[in-house]
Amino acid sequence: DQQVKQNSPSLSVQEGRISILNCDYTNSMFDYFLWYKKYPAEGPTFLISISSIKDKNEDGRFTVFLNKSAKHLSLHIVPSQPGDSAVYFCAVLSNFGNEKLTFGTGTRLTIIP
């Protein structure tokens, strides 16, 4: 039973427009929510995170929104750039330590020039 779901395996967005990636989770005990970005033949790299006490966190072009009542997490990228083309994984962390990080299945984002 997947605790973290990314229901869109792929997404294509025009350069300059907003990219919105979504993630749903099942356990209200999750405490931290993170997004990782992965290029081919490389390991994932940390992008942005949010704790459960917040509902928004912004870092440059990247904003993460957390809706605890809906158990929904989203990542907004605006404006989208060709270098943003990658696979994005959301990950959730329970309040029991870093060993409990659980990843979603990923969404492949393609930015169309």
Contacting residues toward another protein, per CB under 8 A: 4, 6, 31-32, 34, 36, 41-46, 49, 51, 89, 93, 95, 97-99, 101-106
Q: Which is nearer to another protein, 40 or 113 (CB)?
A: 40
**Minimum separation from the CB atom of position 78 to another protein (A):** 22
Q: Which is nearer to another protein, 96 or 113 (CB)?
A: 96
> Rounded to an integer, what distance in angstroms lies between the CA atom of residue 74 and that of residue 21?
5
Q: Which phi and psi angles does 85 have, rounded to 5°? A: -65, 115
Q: Which is nearer to another protein, 60 or 113 (CB)?
A: 60
**Minimum separation from the CB atom of position 15 to another protein (A):** 27
Q: Which phi and psi angles does 99 have, rounded to 5°? A: -70, -10
- Do 78 and 12 touch, CB atoms closer than 8 A? no
**Minimum separation from the CB atom of position 49 to another protein (A):** 7
DSSP designation for 106: -
Q: Which is nearer to another protein, 15 or 55 (CB)?
A: 55
Question: How distant, in Å, are the alpha carbons of 45, 63, 90 from that of 42?
Answer: 9, 23, 17
